[in-house]
Amino acid sequence: MAGRPRDRFNRSVTAQPDAAPARSGRTVRIGIDTGGTFTDVVAFDEATGDLVTTKTPSTPADPADGFMAGIEKVLGLMGITGPGEDRQPAGERIAAVSHGTTVATNQLLEGKVGTLGFVTTEGYEAVLEIARQSVPDGYGNSYFWVKPDRIVPRHLVRSVAGRLDHQGQELRPFDEPRAREVARWFRDRGVDTLGVCFLHSYANPEHEERMRQVLLEEHPDAVVSISSQVLREYREYERAMTTLVDAAVKPTFSRYVTNIKARLDEFVVATDAGGVPFYVMKSNGGVLSADEVVHQPITTVLSGPAAGALGAALVAQVAGFHRVLTCDGGGTSTDVSVVIDGEPTLTTEGSVGAYPSKIPMIDVVTVGAGGGSIAWLSPEGTLKVGPQSAGADPGPLCYGKGGTQVTVTDAHVVLGRIPPHLLGGEIPLDVDAARRGLTRLATELGLTVEQCATGVLEISAWNQANALRQITVKRGLDVRDFTLTTFGGSGSLLLCRLMDVLGIGTVLVPPDPGNVSAFGLLTVDVKNDYVRTHVCLHEHLTATALDDIYDELTSQASDALGKEGFAPDQRRYVRTADLRYFGQAFEVRVPVPEGKLDQAALDGVADRFHAEHRALYGYDFAADPRQQVEWVNLRVTGIGPIQRPEIVATGSDGSEDQEPAPRSVRAVCFDAADGYVEAPVHWRPDLQAGQSVRGPAVLEEFGSTIPLHPGFVARVDPFRNVVVTRER
Please compute, for residue 361, the number of CA atoms within 13 A of its CA located in the half-sphere on the CB side. Answer: 27
- 580 in any annotated domain: yes
Residue 16 lies in a domain: yes
Residues 461 and 444: their CA atoms lie apart, in Å, by 22
Position 37 in a domain: yes
Residues 609 and 668 in one domain: no
Within 318-363, strands assigned E span 323-329, 334-340, 343-344, 346-347, 350-352, 355-357, 361-362
Same domain? 617 vs 682: no
Q: Select from 231, 226, 236 the least CA-distant residue to 130.
A: 236
What is the CATH number for 81? 3.30.420.40
Residue 296 inside a domain? The answer is yes
Which pLDDT band holds residue 206 (cuts at 50, 70, 90)?
very high
Tell me whether strands 373-377 and 383-389 are parallel, antiparallel or unpaired: antiparallel
Cβ neighbours for 51, distance < 8 A, ≥ 6 positions apart: 9, 11, 12, 13, 42, 43, 44, 45, 519
Q: Which domain holds residue 264?
A: 8-107+253-300
- At residue 92, the pLDDT reads 52
User: Do residues 626 and 685 share a domain?
Assistant: no
Flag whether pLDDT at 142 surpasses 60. no
**Is there a single domain that holds both residue 584 and residue 686?**
no
The more confidently predicted of residues 447 and 44 is: 447
Specify whether 614 is located in the same domain as 715.
no
Q: What is the pTM of this model?
A: 0.81
Instruction: Residue 721: name the closest of 507, 498, 518 by CA.
Output: 507
d(CA 725, CA 712): 6
Residue 272 is assigned to a structural domain of this protein = yes
* pLDDT score at 63: 85
Q: What is the pLDDT of residues 631-678, one digit of tens each?
A: 999 999 999 987 777 787 876 655 455 679 999 999 999 999 999 999
The residue type at 21: P
Considering the domain architecture, whether residues 560 and 598 belong to the same structural domain is answered as yes
Note whether 568 and 610 are same-domain residues: yes
- CB contact at 8 A, 358 and 235: yes
Mean pLDDT computed over 481-509: 95
Q: What is the pLDDT of residue 7?
A: 32
d(CA 550, CA 532): 9
CATH number reported for the structural domain that contains residue 604 in this entry: 3.30.1490
Cα–Cα separations (whole angstroms), residue 620 to 577, 581, 587, 606: 18, 9, 13, 11
Computed over its alpha carbons, how large is the radius of gyration of the chain? 27
- Three-state SS string across 407-464, please? EHHHHHHHCCCCCCEEHHHCEECCHHHHHHHHHHHHHHHCCCHHHHHHHHHHHHHHHH
Closest CA relative to residue 53, chosen from 680, 727, 510: 510
Residues sharing a CB contact under 8 Å with residue 649, sequence separation 6 or more, in sequence order: 689, 718, 719
Is 420 part of a structural domain of the chain? Answer: no
Binning pLDDT at 50, 70 and 90, where does residue 500 land?
A: very high
Q: How many CB atoms lie within 10 A of CB 569?
A: 6
pLDDT for position 331: 80
Together in a domain, 629 and 695: no
- How many domains is the chain built from? 3
Compute the CA torsion angle 49, 63, 395, 407 (nearest 10 deg).
Answer: -70
- Let me know if residue 281 belongs to a domain: yes
- For residues 626 and 536, membership in a common domain is answered with yes
Residue 9 sits at the vertex; the CA angle it makes with 7 and 10, to the nearest 5 degrees, is 120
- Edge to edge, the sheet with strand 117-121 lists 157-160, 117-121, 193-197, 223-226
The answer to whether residues 406 and 456 touch, using CB atoms and an 8 Å cutoff, is yes
Longest dimension (CA), the chain: 81
The 8-class DSSP code of residue 282 comes to: -
Say if residue 632 is in the same domain as residue 706.
Answer: no
User: What's the rounded Cα separation, in Å, for the pair 490 and 704?
Assistant: 7
- Per the domain annotation, does 350 fall within a domain? no
Q: Is the pLDDT of residue 20 over 70?
A: no
Mean pLDDT of the chain: 86
Single residue among 575, 607, 640 that ends a domain in this structure? 640
State whether 536 and 630 are in the same domain: yes
**Does 676 lie in the same domain as 620?**
no
